[in-house]
Amino acid sequence: MNMDDLKKIIERKGPIRKVGVIGMGYVGIPAAALFADCRQFEHVLGFQRDSPSSGYKIDMLNRGESPLKGEEPGLEDLLKKVVSEGRFECTPDFSRIRELDAVTLAIQTPFKNPKDLVPDFSALTEGLRMAGKYIRYGTLVVIESTVTPGTTMGMAKEVLEEESGMKAGVEFALAHAPERVMVGRLLKNIQEHDRIVGGIDEVSTKRAVELYSPILTKGKIIPMSATAAEVTKTAENTFRDLQIAAANELALYCEAMGINFYDVRTGIDSLKGEGITRAILWPGAGVGGHCLTKDTYHLERGVKVLNGHLDYPEGKDSMFVLARNINDFMPRHMFNLTVQGLKRAGKNRKGARAAILGWAFLSNSDDARNTPSETFRDLLLLDGFEVKVHDPYVEKYPGVPILRSIEHTVEGADVVAIMTGHSQYKDLDPAVIRELTGKEHPVIVDGRNIIDPDQFIAQGFVYKGIGRGDKNGHRIADLARSRKMAEEPIPAA
């Protein structure tokens, strides 16, 4: 039995008609809706466990409603359309995988303990077991989740073969086609980003290309091996994290040198042309989300899982992990700037009141997965601060009351800290905020360079900003004195 057998089995089966997606989340739902809207495919099943925490999604989806929080342009309409046309349905009955020609897995792959590089593959393994139990000859299985390099050819293949009693690459096809979506533009990203498709063999790659080609509008397929696809995905996020860490480190240096990071960035960014790309990203109060915070560890673990001989400077840490450490440090840096600001304002930090503006990990979104704001809040609480949190999009968060009113959040605050770059914070009025704090010298700490330091300084604020070495030591305006001077009559010449 060999690959040719799979080729023959698939030729006999004919084109992919029925598709399934395991995992109704940020990745699975838009993908299932797009598959269902493709005329090539007759029917699409979305598989969701009827669990206490997420079983509610099944009925919502079958009513054509999106259970995803936040704005997702086009998704609600598309779901209504494909459900009303009977082309998509959501079910907790995994035995219906038998009906399918292809099934994808879009399941979270967090890390249990990044330090020892131990991932939590429990949900993924359960999904693979379900798929393995019901797939038939010639079915294509695709892993869309971000996984440690070596997982598709390793753990996944083993679990599927064990459950199905069939051989991957001979009796069923197996591939990795990593998601590349961002909240707020899920459909657009799936249709317009190029799609990395990596089969465990050529026949599997070819079958997976057949599955993804119809849902792409601007994007094109980039075929490669399953392991290369895994490295591509984990590395692209690791590189982004590294670029952010480089910007953060430079911002810390600029603070130490008393200069404005953003002047430097404009300068560096100006060197263009001749193939020179200086993609310098933005420093900030931290890196959150479900991707950059873990994919470096998947990549690091890949080297171990694939047991390759790594030729690397002796005793030197991975620069990718160092980058993670720098980005994880930024909420701590926000805390240090807060303490320094209070000291300048002559305010004792014990029992001080802090107002955090922004709980989401990404600007203008409601996604608070692994938000840096939580690390910052924990540091403040640990240090005896009273803390209030505002976010215009995040509705609720376990154990953290999220306020909708900026006024209530900053009322009586000694320090206001901007953690997320939500657009509405650009319009903060320093005089109004100062009034609400009721403080002569409230502290404002800008973690996203979103406000104009001079406007706040002029209103008597003590300003601190990431990368703003040019302002962090500013002279504190004495409003009382300038008011008094303004009232004093100008002596006749």
Give the residues lining the site for ligand SAJ (CB under 6 A). Answer: 179-182, 236-237, 240, 244, 281-282, 284, 287-289, 291-292, 361-362
Radius of gyration of the chain (CA): 26
Nearest C-alpha neighbor of 106 from the set 205, 177, 1: 177
Contact 366, 402 (CB under 8 A): no
Options 18, 233, 439, 464, the catalytic residue: 233
| Nearer to ligand SAJ (CB atom), residue 199 or residue 284 | 284
Residue 44's Cβ-side half-sphere holds a number of Cα atoms within 13 Å equal to 29
- Closest distance to ligand SAJ from the beta carbon of 344 (Å): 26
| Nearer to ligand SAJ (CB atom), residue 18 or residue 180 | 180
Continuous segment of H or E residues that includes residue 482? helix 479-487
- Closest distance to ligand SAJ from the beta carbon of 284 (Å): 4
Options 157, 254, 291, 347, the catalytic residue: 291
- Closest distance to ligand SAJ from the beta carbon of 427 (Å): 20
| Nearer to ligand SAJ (CB atom), residue 159 or residue 254 | 254
- Closest distance to ligand SAJ from the beta carbon of 302 (Å): 16
Token digits of residue 78: 């598309």
> Treating both helix axes as pointing N-terminal to C-terminal, what angle do 202-212 and 3-13 enclose, rounded to 10 degrees?
30
- Closest distance to ligand SAJ from the beta carbon of 282 (Å): 3
Residue keyed to tokens 């119809």: 214
3-state secondary structure 160-209: HHHHHCCCECCCEEEEECCCCCCCCCHHHHHHHCCEEEEECCHHHHHHHH
| Nearer to ligand SAJ (CB atom), residue 132 or residue 284 | 284
d(CA 438, CA 180): 46
d(CA 175, CA 97): 17
SS3 of 446, please? Answer: strand
For this structure, is 90 an active site residue?
Answer: no
For this structure, is 233 an active site residue?
Answer: yes
- Closest distance to ligand SAJ from the beta carbon of 53 (Å): 21
| Nearer to ligand SAJ (CB atom), residue 280 or residue 387 | 280
| Nearer to ligand SAJ (CB atom), residue 180 or residue 441 | 180
- Angstrom CA distances, 410 to 45, 109, 191, 403, 413, stand at 47, 37, 42, 10, 5
Residue 357's contacts (CB-CB under 8 Å, 6 or more residues apart) are 390, 391, 406, 409, 410, 416, 417, 418, 419, 420, 422, 425, 428
Catalytic site residues?
Answer: 233, 291
